[in-house]
Amino acid sequence: MLALHLLLAFGMAAFADSLSPMGVLFAFFLVYLVFKVGGKLARTGTYARRVELGTVFVFWFALEVFKASFDVARLVTARRVDATPTIVPVRLAVQKDWVATVVGMLLTLTPGTMAMEYDSRAGLLYIHVLDTESLESVDAAVRRLETRLLAWLDPGPGVAREEGP
């Protein structure tokens, strides 16, 4: 479905003689609106919902990376460094290898954290944290990331229903 979406967006942008990044982005949005409005008729509502969840996730994660970058910069430029580096084992809610891989990659992209190892038998992801106040705060942050990621990538049966706001 994504391939069709991209093909239609590029085709629409080319037809409008607007094959610039902004033109393709605008065409992508217009095609998304068509998929959203015609969701029940063409069965594209689930795909449109996943596009929405993906967009929200990308902006949320970018904000989290910005906040983490600011925290690490503040820690590094402080006169007195009182960092408490820790390796924290976090039990993932969904114990699948692909979930652990994606969560680990996203955590490693976030400044101040790095995924160390995943024990698939125990479902534990070991994370190195540059500075932490408590193990519960790290667990809560990973849980938020995992929940938002799974809402987007593995929405389950709840997304297939066409529900209003």
Tell which residue, 103, 110, 154, has the closest CA to residue 126.
Answer: 103
Region 64-78 average pLDDT: 91
Is residue 87 one of the residues assigned to a domain? yes
Total domains in the chain come to 1
Is residue 133 one of the residues assigned to a domain? yes
* Three-state DSSP state, 49: helix
- Residue 61: domain span: 38-155
Q: Give the global pTM.
A: 0.77
Q: Is the pLDDT of residue 161 over 80?
A: no
Is residue 42 one of the residues assigned to a domain? yes
Is residue 85 classed exposed, middle or buried when 0-12, 13-18 and 19+ CB atoms within 10 A define those classes? exposed
- pLDDT, tens digit, 9 for 90 and up, residues 103-157: 999 999 999 999 999 999 999 999 999 988 888 989 999 999 999 999 988 765 5
